[in-house]
Chain A
Amino acid sequence: MAALEEEFTLSAVPLGAGPDGLLGVEQCDKTDQFLITDGGRTVILYKVSDQKPLGSWSVKQGQVITCPAVCNFQTGEYIVVHDSKVLRLWTNEDVNLDKVFKATLSAEVYRILSIPGTEPLVLFKEGAVRGLEALLAEPQQKIETVISDEEVIKWTKFFMVFRHPALIFITEKHGNYFAYVQKFNSSVVSKYTLLLGQEEKSVIQSFTASLCRKFISLMSLSSDGCIYETLIPIHPSDPEKNQHQRVVRSLLLKTVVSGNARNALSVLDQDHVAVLGPSLPASKECLSIWNTKFQTLQISKELPQGTSGQLWYYGEHLFMLHGKILTVIPYKCEMSSLAGALGKLKHGQDPGTQTMPHFVNWETSQGLGSQNAEPSKRILRRRKIEASVQPEVPGSQQLLSTIKKDSEKHIEMELRKFLAIKRTPDFHTVIGDIVIGLLGRCKTEPSFYPRNSLMQLIQMHVLSYSLCPGLMEVALEKTDVQMLQLCLQQFPDIPEAVTCACLKMFLSIGDDSLQETDVNMESVSDYSDAVQEEQMEEQTGILQNGFNPEEDNCDNCDKELSEKPQNTIEETTSCPVIPKRAALLNAVLHSAYSETFLLPHLKDIPAQHITIMDWICLLLDANFTVVVMIPEAKSLLLSLYKFVKSQICICSELNKIEVSFRELQKLNQEKNNRELYSIEVLELF
């Protein structure tokens, strides 16, 4: 499931961004470091995880950087172009850009392109491409013109295709778009005309591309707010004839943003794209992640201060200008799996990273970004605090004795102090001891319930059920659904009986009392108002498995499967639970369990709650159906079906042959054994 984490800003001071925003954000040879080039004269090197700049370089007054700074991954040098023709190379040690290596070129540079593993390339505005080394050897060499007059380069990207560098750039001339693909192992340029299809009038606002086996998948965001995909072959079948091929673009996602604004698009992985722009109903600017396979919105985040319509994506970070501030939003996408959806798979948690609540997107609705990010303070920030308050803290023994006698408030304070110290290897056992100490006092002193302390401890992400047995029982006793939800999300080893007890409580607790409690709603954050939900319900309905096993004629299968399944349940099943309860149930669904051990306990669920369980099952079935019905699965299912059928055919034929052979053998025997006694003539030779 795709998820956006809490954003953070890179510079407190607004960058000197021009009216067109930043020039660029580029990767560095060291991980976590990025070169930011603003619209004017400055290049800043940032270490993203520390949110602090490592270096800053500016060109002289009067000079203007015209091309974003990049890093030469082979040498570690930085390269920038100012005033279109002047190339500058420098390293971390250099302070003044004026005094570094300079080369004046004979033509105007559009962009310098650099990716790890190969030499940087220089793309000139006239469409010619040079390797950096060759260019530096002879800076004044003549640069040829590749593209025609009035043709302007709009966008470019550099790939490694099977260890060979390949470059694509898009040009525009009078509203027509052309794609040029240049490979450097053959130095052949292929030109393609992008046919816009029916939407002739639309203007393309943003491009992004990814490699898709033998094609470059070029995605474009048009002014009509739709995303189109164009497949451009990397290896043209016949380079000679290939001079003016046409490629058609196809609709990938319909109306994701409202047009007529500065929108941006970036491909994240093969199934996900990030779109920056005003979302349709709200018309507020936001960042949204779409799943192209399921055609669903995964998550979106509102950016109320507006953006510059620029979006960069490197590794796990999305970069954009939010207002005037460069903002980084970490993005993460877990592979979605059915096992995960059914709660069989506990997502692995790295000790260093913050876990994300993984939510099931029950309906394809648009919702607000996560608001309740309270439990996750970024680790790096905490580290800073840790470093500052290292000494004079109470040891765990002291804390344990405090637990035995002091008031809840005091314990909370002491605990906070204790947690601020550096983690020791046995940190988790110490935390476990503290929880057990707290629980021990709970048992002896019924009025004592250090809820805040316990919540804080659970959020340390080091506890498990077996480390603090009894914690969930106490929470169950106190009907503390919030803590139970937290436990379900955090503990990997909850016994099925306890899971079931939680489920029973979540189902039986009254709506009124649930409204009062504070439940983490992140997992159902896109669960907006009921009206919208009803609409979505009608749209999707519940798809029955369109596959009819009785149909034996395989020849029709292709047709049948390609037809949209007709069997939809007429009645709309409305959701019988309120959002808070849904969040709680979701926590149960996500917890790890084993069917064999769960089933006996499930029988204890009282009859009035069965409806809700049935409803959840229906939803899960529907989700599964969606997985089965996606186009990729269709061909797989079809070939599976064909294969199994042919296997059955082979087996049945083999069985027939076996029987026939046996009959033949019998006949043969009868012929041989026609008599028990005979007199024959034998001659020995």
Chain B
Amino acid sequence: MGEFKVHRVRFFNYVPSGIRCVAYNNQSNRLAVSRTDGTVEIYNLSANYFQEKFFPGHESRATEALCWAKGQRLFSAGLNGEIIEYDLQALNIKYSMDAFGGPIWSMAASPSGSQLLIGCEDGSVKLFQINPDKIQFERNFDRQKSRILSLSWHPSGTHIAAGSIDYISVFDVNSGSTIHKMLVDRQYMGVSKRKCIIWGVAFLSDGTVISVDSAGKVQFWDSATGTLVKTHLVANADVQSIAVSDQEDSFVVGTAEGTVFHFQLVSVTSNSSEKQWVRTKPFQHHTHDVRTVAHSPTALISGGTDTHLVIRPLMEKVEVKNYDAALRKITFPHRRLISCSKKRQLLLFQFSHHLDLWRLGSTVATGKHGDTLPLSKDADHLLHLKTKGPENIICSCVSPCGSWIAYSTASRFFLCRLNYDRVHPKVSKMPAFLRSAVQILFSEDSTKLFVASNQGSLHIIRLLEGSFKHLHTFQAQSGTVESMCLLAVSPDGNWLAASGTSAGVHVYNVKRLKLHCTVPAYNFPVTALAIAPKTNNLVIAHSDQQIFEYSIPDKQYTEWSRTIQKQGFHYLWLQRDTPITHISFHPKRPMHILLHDAYMFCIIDKSLPLPNDKTLLYNPLPPTNESDVIRRRTAHAFKISKRYKPLLFMDLLDERTLVAVERPLDDIIAQLPPPIKKKKFGT
């Protein structure tokens, strides 16, 4: 198969932001996740938990609350006092609106989804009407004396529960007046704390209010009488989040110790109708605070400071014990943060507010499999490019020649020219000509720049020595405003493929500046795209781990693609739980496709037979004393290496050189604040 020199890069010190809120939408089976830097991500739980959309963060926009409303509209609110609605098609912010109540700590959509309730720093609870185009302030509820940290609607929509500091209020929605104030005991293990913060409330249809607080308690209240019914002390630290299932037969709480507790409504005795809430299962999938939890019909979802999104299926709710029943831990974004200049051997790392440009080192030595070669030249940090303003970088790209860097924030597109005459390259900024981009790509010869903007349009810009010229704009297909998140250009520069999240892949003829064809839409979103040299075959990877090869000139799937669809992929291949994020090709070996996900790197040799389920898919050991015959017989098309993980980027620099960018989880944990120390054993 061949031997490669691999540049193993671990200096990409990327740290994902902690998760602040999760909101589950039952109708679309999608999960919205907001992070502490203001980023909002949308995961499609039906599509193998693929992160299909994201909204870039903003320094001043710390989200404290996230919720879905009627018609799958997504709202967030945060400490800047604004309510934001997201445009899930165009992938930008539809509008933001000041609630005039100071920082917003909590938000909840009414059970009907037509009203929005927010809890503010000044103790006010404000009700908004959700209109088709915007939200409109309706009225204030009785003002409380301190901030409203949590809100929950009664399923009938007539009452709400609001958690504040030291007490829980129950409001009548019609009158807006407080019916009950339920004081929470500040005592914690016999020690009186200064304050007891109600981090979360949940209002059940029988009138029970469940509260979780900073004293480690989960408490059940009777909202009709305003009395405490039951207390569970679950943690020595704060219980920070709660989520109840739609059936109200189970709920989940997350604690600052990283533990998630599952509570279930179970019969007191078998075949008795009397039921009570019982703490059934503890889960310890987090090392840090579990800031937020969600309860889908089949899984418990949790996220927190340790940046992992954990989806823990409830085994009793999973009908088929397939791979969906396994625990998912999502840490890295399902998109590329790294681009590479093959010619100059440069790597561009994208962070939330800056870009880093590194030049790889070199070696003259050779060795055999597994050897680490002595470096003749170490890697160089060439450039640290900081963005101005509070907005996060959405996307970035370095041109194959290494002379151009393009990146974009939500409000501005930047193009820079790099001059390598001196030790450190000189950056000259190009004047602004585009507002914002979702995806950026340079052609192989670095003469053209392709930019996918919001609203579905594609721009082609010609690059010359130090100047540029806008060539053409492909407008979005009529009627759609879906942004194109993925771009691929053929090495000869003639074809451009672009894909959104749901519709098919569009292939444009760059020479004639027109749409060539559209690859039929598939049920699962595209996770990576690439066009092979010479053959101009478009290789598409989907979130269900299927791979298609589509011949652009012939406008049809290739024979190999049909064969593999007919035979099916190896079951272990389909069971991988991270999407393929990058596809590339070998310049000299047209039969090879190189692709990787976070835990493996694979070269598909189309000339070899496909593996069936009985074949060993992944063989980490080199064949030793087997004869060539056996070797040839057992060899199959998928050559897999799991040596580098978590793998964020892998590409071929030249025929015999690979670059792999790893980000070990321990390095991320090392950069997080220390977790609450818990003794595993003893007292």
On whether the beta carbons of B3 and A685 are closer than 8 Å, the reply is no
On whether the beta carbons of B375 and A655 are closer than 8 Å, the reply is no
- Distance (Å) between the CB of A557 and the closest chain B CB? 22
Known contacts A652-B682, A655-B679; is-contact A682 B4 (Cβ 8 Å): yes
When chains A and B are docked, how far (Å) is the Cα of A142 from the Cα of B362? 116
B465 interface hit (Cβ, 8 Å): no
Instruction: Please choose the segment from B8-16, B116-124, B296-304 that sits at the chain A interface, where 4 or more of its residues have CB less than 8 A away.
Output: B8-16
On whether the beta carbons of B8 and A655 are closer than 8 Å, the reply is no
Known contacts A654-B681, A678-B372, A679-B363; is-contact A684 B639 (Cβ 8 Å): yes
**B9 contacts across to A, CB distance below 8 A:** 676-677
When chains A and B are docked, how far (Å) is the Cα of A675 from the Cα of B679? 32
Most B CB atoms within 10 A — which of A650, A673, A679?
A: A679
A683 interface hit (Cβ, 8 Å): yes
Interface positions, chain A 644-681, Cβ under 8 Å from B, are: 648, 650-652, 654-655, 658, 669, 672-673, 675-681
Interface positions, chain A 621-662, Cβ under 8 Å from B, are: 648, 650-652, 654-655, 658
On whether the beta carbons of B373 and A684 are closer than 8 Å, the reply is no
B379 interface hit (Cβ, 8 Å): yes
B389 interface hit (Cβ, 8 Å): no
B378 interface hit (Cβ, 8 Å): yes
On whether the beta carbons of B679 and A683 are closer than 8 Å, the reply is no
Most A CB atoms within 10 A — which of B367, B372, B640, B667?
A: B372
- Distance (Å) between the CB of A92 and the closest chain B CB? 46
Q: Which of the residues B11, B369, B370, B603 comes within 8 Å of A676, measured between beta carbons?
A: B11
On whether the beta carbons of A683 and B369 are closer than 8 Å, the reply is yes
**A685 contacts across to B, CB distance below 8 A:** 1, 619, 622-623, 639
On whether the beta carbons of A648 and B371 are closer than 8 Å, the reply is no
**A655 contacts across to B, CB distance below 8 A:** 679-682
On whether the beta carbons of A669 and B666 are closer than 8 Å, the reply is yes
Q: Which of the residues A648, A677, A681, A684 comes within 8 Å of B682, measured between beta carbons?
A: A648
When chains A and B are docked, how far (Å) is the Cα of A651 from the Cα of B8? 42
Q: Which of the residues B10, B378, B622, B680 comes within 8 Å of A683, measured between beta carbons?
A: B622
| Chain A residue with the shortest CB-CB distance to B375 | A679
- Distance (Å) between the CB of B58 and the closest chain A CB? 31
| Chain A residue with the shortest CB-CB distance to B7 | A679
When chains A and B are docked, how far (Å) is the Cα of A669 from the Cα of B680? 22
**B641 contacts across to A, CB distance below 8 A:** 682, 684
Known contacts A682-B643, A685-B619; is-contact A677 B680 (Cβ 8 Å): no
**B622 contacts across to A, CB distance below 8 A:** 683, 685
B322 interface hit (Cβ, 8 Å): no
Q: Which of the residues A651, A676, A680 comes within 8 Å of B371, measured between beta carbons?
A: A680
Known contacts A652-B682, A654-B680, A684-B641; is-contact A679 B603 (Cβ 8 Å): no
When chains A and B are docked, how far (Å) is the Cα of A675 from the Cα of B658? 18
Q: Which of the residues B8, B667, B680 comes within 8 Å of A678, measured between beta carbons?
A: B8
On whether the beta carbons of A677 and B8 are closer than 8 Å, the reply is yes
B664 interface hit (Cβ, 8 Å): yes
On whether the beta carbons of A677 and B361 are closer than 8 Å, the reply is yes
- Distance (Å) between the CB of A676 and the closest chain B CB? 4
- Distance (Å) between the CB of B173 and the closest chain A CB? 39
**A675 contacts across to B, CB distance below 8 A:** 10
B589 interface hit (Cβ, 8 Å): no
Q: Which of the residues B4, B7, B370, B681 comes within 8 Å of A658, measured between beta carbons?
A: B681
B5 interface hit (Cβ, 8 Å): yes
| Chain A residue with the shortest CB-CB distance to B619 | A685
On whether the beta carbons of B8 and A680 are closer than 8 Å, the reply is yes
Chain A: how many interface residues by the 8 Å CB criterion?
21
- Distance (Å) between the CB of A366 and the closest chain B CB? 47
| Chain A residue with the shortest CB-CB distance to B670 | A669
When chains A and B are docked, how far (Å) is the Cα of A684 from the Cα of B361? 23
**B681 contacts across to A, CB distance below 8 A:** 650-651, 654-655, 658
Most B CB atoms within 10 A — which of A669, A678, A682?
A: A682
When chains A and B are docked, how far (Å) is the Cα of A682 from the Cα of B362? 16
Known contacts A651-B683, A652-B682, A658-B681; is-contact A681 B10 (Cβ 8 Å): no
On whether the beta carbons of B680 and A679 are closer than 8 Å, the reply is no
Q: Which of the residues B6, B362, B666 comes within 8 Å of A681, measured between beta carbons?
A: B6
Interface positions, chain B 635-675, Cβ under 8 Å from A, are: 639-641, 643, 658, 664, 666-667
When chains A and B are docked, how far (Å) is the Cα of A188 from the Cα of B526? 88
**B369 contacts across to A, CB distance below 8 A:** 681-683
On whether the beta carbons of A681 and B8 are closer than 8 Å, the reply is no
| Chain B residue with the shortest CB-CB distance to A657 | B681
When chains A and B are docked, how far (Å) is the Cα of A178 from the Cα of B586? 104
**B4 contacts across to A, CB distance below 8 A:** 681-684
B2 interface hit (Cβ, 8 Å): yes
- Distance (Å) between the CB of A666 and the closest chain B CB? 9
| Chain B residue with the shortest CB-CB distance to A665 | B666
B interface footprint on A181-221 (CB within 8 Å = 1, 0 otherwise) = 00000000000000000000000000000000000000000
B512 interface hit (Cβ, 8 Å): no
Q: Which of the residues A651, A677, A680 comes within 8 Å of B379, measured between beta carbons?
A: A677
Interface positions, chain B 564-613, Cβ under 8 Å from A, are: 603
On whether the beta carbons of B682 and A679 are closer than 8 Å, the reply is no
B511 interface hit (Cβ, 8 Å): no
Most A CB atoms within 10 A — which of B8, B367, B643?
A: B8
B321 interface hit (Cβ, 8 Å): no
B281 interface hit (Cβ, 8 Å): no
When chains A and B are docked, how far (Å) is the Cα of A650 from the Cα of B681? 9
When chains A and B are docked, how far (Å) is the Cα of A676 from the Cα of B619? 27
**B603 contacts across to A, CB distance below 8 A:** 684
When chains A and B are docked, how far (Å) is the Cα of A393 from the Cα of B3? 115
B368 interface hit (Cβ, 8 Å): yes
- Distance (Å) between the CB of A398 and the closest chain B CB? 43
**A672 contacts across to B, CB distance below 8 A:** 664
On whether the beta carbons of A681 and B5 are closer than 8 Å, the reply is yes
When chains A and B are docked, how far (Å) is the Cα of A679 from the Cα of B369? 12
When chains A and B are docked, how far (Å) is the Cα of A652 from the Cα of B13? 37
On whether the beta carbons of B5 and A680 are closer than 8 Å, the reply is yes
When chains A and B are docked, how far (Å) is the Cα of A162 from the Cα of B643? 69
| Chain A residue with the shortest CB-CB distance to B371 | A681
**B362 contacts across to A, CB distance below 8 A:** 679
| Chain A residue with the shortest CB-CB distance to B358 | A677
| Chain B residue with the shortest CB-CB distance to A656 | B681
When chains A and B are docked, how far (Å) is the Cα of A28 from the Cα of B367? 102
Known contacts A652-B682, A681-B367, A681-B371; is-contact A673 B3 (Cβ 8 Å): no
When chains A and B are docked, how far (Å) is the Cα of A590 from the Cα of B510? 98
**B6 contacts across to A, CB distance below 8 A:** 679-682
- Distance (Å) between the CB of A9 and the closest chain B CB? 51
- Distance (Å) between the CB of A88 and the closest chain B CB? 55
When chains A and B are docked, how far (Å) is the Cα of A672 from the Cα of B682? 32
When chains A and B are docked, how far (Å) is the Cα of A658 from the Cα of B2? 43
**B682 contacts across to A, CB distance below 8 A:** 648, 651-652, 654-655
**A677 contacts across to B, CB distance below 8 A:** 7-11, 361, 375, 378-379
Interface positions, chain B 348-389, Cβ under 8 Å from A, are: 361-363, 366-373, 375, 378-379
- Distance (Å) between the CB of A483 and the closest chain B CB? 37
When chains A and B are docked, how far (Å) is the Cα of A679 from the Cα of B7? 4
On whether the beta carbons of A683 and B379 are closer than 8 Å, the reply is no
- Distance (Å) between the CB of B467 and the closest chain A CB? 35
**A652 contacts across to B, CB distance below 8 A:** 682
6 residue pairs from A and B, CB less than 8 Å apart: A651-B683, A658-B681, A673-B10, A683-B622, A684-B1, A684-B2
Question: Which of B's residues lie within 8 Å of A, judged by CB?
Answer: 1-11, 361-363, 366-373, 375, 378-379, 603, 619, 622-623, 639-641, 643, 658, 664, 666-667, 679-683
For the complex of A and B, list the 9 residue pairs with the smallest distance between their C-beta atoms, beginning with the closest: A651-B682, A654-B681, A683-B369, A684-B1, A676-B11, A684-B639, A676-B10, A681-B367, A651-B681
Question: Which of A's residues lie within 8 Å of B, judged by CB?
Answer: 648, 650-652, 654-655, 658, 669, 672-673, 675-685
Question: Can you add 20 more A-B contacts, CB < 8 Å, to A673-B667, A681-B373, A682-B643?
Answer: A651-B683, A654-B682, A673-B10, A673-B666, A675-B10, A679-B361, A679-B362, A679-B373, A680-B371, A681-B366, A681-B368, A682-B3, A683-B4, A684-B1, A684-B2, A684-B4, A684-B603, A684-B639, A685-B619, A685-B639
